[in-house]
Amino acid sequence: MRGRAALLAGLLTALAGCSGTVPYRYSGEDNVEVRSNVIGARARLHVHRLEAPCQTTYEGSVELSEPVVSLAIPPDRPTVLVVSFATSSFLGGSRGTVSRELTLKPRAGYRYRIDVRYRDAIYDVEAIEIARGTTRTRPLELGVDCTVIGK
């Protein structure tokens, strides 16, 4: 639990300094699809490689400004995906950021879909794993799970 708190604190610190974000680039086969329906906020997906013991390395970000964004995460590599929602009030007076994390270790032969929604100060993130060539799905739990490294 202590490792998770440290990891979360590190991710939030990294996000706080993300005004100069780096575009995420990986040239493998797209295996993650992010579907976004965001009204009244700006959403980004931040990609962090998860390393032992519960340490991350920031690899880049993807602006979720299109309804569907596809990207590649290397198979069998533990990754923390952070969806951040940035909002501002009328005339930019007050600002806020809310983040949701997902630990993912993509399996070969599977695709992943992340649904990102924001409207009227209500945000939601859901993720599923889909076996290729089937309609079989498995919901994924949000949160940071450092034990995925040994699996």
Condensed to tens digits (0 to 9), the pLDDT of residues 31-80 reads 999 999 999 999 999 999 998 778 999 999 999 999 999 999 999 999 99
d(CA 46, CA 58): 8
Residue 15 or residue 32, greater confidence: 32
Choice among 30-44, 70-84, 85-99, 125-139 with the minimum mean pLDDT: 85-99
Exposure letters 133-149 (e unless 16+ CB within 10 A, then b) = eeeeeeebebebbbeee
| CATH number for the domain harbouring residue 81 | 2.60.40
**Above 80 in pLDDT, residue 1?**
no
Residue 69 or residue 4, greater confidence: 69
Find the domain containing 45 and state its range. 2-150
Tally of domains in the chain? 1
Q: Give, in order, the Cα–Cα distances in Å from 64 to each of 37, 38, 72, 135.
A: 9, 8, 15, 25
